[in-house]
Structure 1
Amino acid sequence: MDTPTSKKLDIIIPAFRGHSQSFLLVLDGISEENALKRIEGRTNHIIWMAGNFLDMRYALGNVLGLNEEFEYKDFFFQGKALDESFTYPSLQQLKDEFHKISPLVYQKLLAATDEELEKAFPMGMNIDFFPENILNFVGMCIGREDYLCGQIGLMRRILGYEGMKYDFDKNLNY
């Protein structure tokens, strides 16, 4: 396993890599048609969930100093509500974006220093026990990715797919 510069990220590095695996595995086999289905008009569709996952990766990269911009940001930025009048990108386009941004963010996580992680990063939460800094933003992004993979996993089952397999790709190094 890669060793991060900051020991504060020892738990984040395996989580990030695990989420990379989960993201691809939970989307495995889902058709483009089913990726746009909603349940009783009340749920987000898988495309929106996958796009929001990527918006998190891009946000994390930007906070860590990357200047990459998510091509489909206008659909997903900061959890923007699903809009059925939009023509969303395909699942394949989102997977391509995933492979573009994920290795870059991973390298930034590995290189982040304690000083960088402790820098203030206002999120407007105003919660006593939650310092608004880059480290806690990283943690929030990881938590959101977990949540979204779980949501997509539930949608898999509702749409009649088998549950996600855990056949991790040992060659995926981000």
Structure 2
Amino acid sequence: MKNEPKSSKLYGILVLYEMHTDFLLRALAGIDQKDAQKRLDTKANHIAWITGSIVQGRFFLAKSLGKDLKAKTGELFVDNKGIIDDASYPSLEAFKEDWNLISPVLLEALQNMDEEQLNQQFEMPGMEMTIFDMISFTTYREANCIGQIALWRRLLGYPGMNYM
């Protein structure tokens, strides 16, 4: 990690954050756009939706921390909208551009958070938690989504994700 966080509470999460920033791009490497929206005759979320969802998660968290950047790919994900049958999702390249836009901005915001900010209450419809809890949940969810994409790679006949 390049810069130490103000709060030691965030150290482990920021290590994962930096790993996830790289791992999402590795998970998407070489996937053809036509395959990104395949659901293989299931109701499962496809790679394009999973990718858009994780990208929007970072934009949402950044906005919650006062960094209001707009994603080019966010329209289909407003209000945590689930997958839409027969929708045409943005390209993986567009999602990668948004990922590369938000990731350094959010990283800096997270590194600069102090204990008081981390302990502030965060509210969503039906949920109340601290900002630290929201950051923790987002980090967990990113790992989950990257794992789903890695599984989809194999199901679609691509080689396994390269972690190096």
Residues 64 and 112, structure 1, Cα contact 8 Å, conserved in 2 = no
**1:156 corresponding residue in structure 2:** 153
Q: Partners in 2 of 1:102 and 1:69 — Cα distance?
A: 13
- 1:62 maps to what in 2? 63
**2:137 is equivalent to residue 140 of structure 1:** yes
Query: 2:76 is matched with which residue?
Result: 75
Q: Deviations over 1:93-148 (max 9, x none)?
A: 1011111111100110111111111001124346xxxxx11000000100110110
Residue 100 (structure 1) aligns with: 101
Residue type of the partner of 2:23? S
Give the drift of 1:78.
Answer: 4.5
The corresponding residue for 1:172 is: none
Q: Distance in 2 between matches of 1:112 and 1:47?
A: 31
Give unpaired runs (5+ residues) of structure 2.
Answer: none
Moved more, 11-20 or 73-82: 73-82
CA distance in 1, matches of 2:74, 2:33: 20
CA contact (8 A) 1:52 1:77 kept: no
Q: How many residues align?
A: 162
Q: Deviations over 1:29-88 (max 9, x none)?
A: 101111111121321110000000101111111111101122222212353121133221
**In the aligned structure 2, how far is the partner of 1:78 from the partner of 1:18?**
27
Say whether the 8 Å CA contact 1:5–1:110 is kept in structure 2.
yes
Distance across 1 between alignment mates of 2:79 and 2:51: 13
CA distance in 2, matches of 1:156, 1:148: 12
Computed over aligned residues only, the root mean square deviation of the Cα atoms, in angstroms, reads 1.3
Q: Distance in 2 between matches of 1:78 and 1:36?
A: 21
Within 2, Cα distance between the matches of 1:46 and 1:74?
17
Query: Which amino acid in structure 2 is aligned with residue 134 of structure 1?
Result: I
Match of 1:50 in 2: 51
**1:4 paired residue number:** 5
1:32 & 1:73 partners in 2: Cα distance? 18
Partner of 2:115: 114
Asked if 1:16 is matched to 2:44, the reply is no
Partner Cα distance (2:87, 2:41) in 1: 18
The percentage of counterpart residues that share the same residue type is 34
Q: Distance in 2 between matches of 1:106 and 1:28?
A: 23
Q: Is the 8 A contact 2:73 2:98 kept in 1?
A: no
* Aligned residues of 2:51 and 2:95 also touching (Cα < 8 A): yes
Does the Cα contact within 8 Å between 2:52 and 2:95 map onto a contact in 1? yes
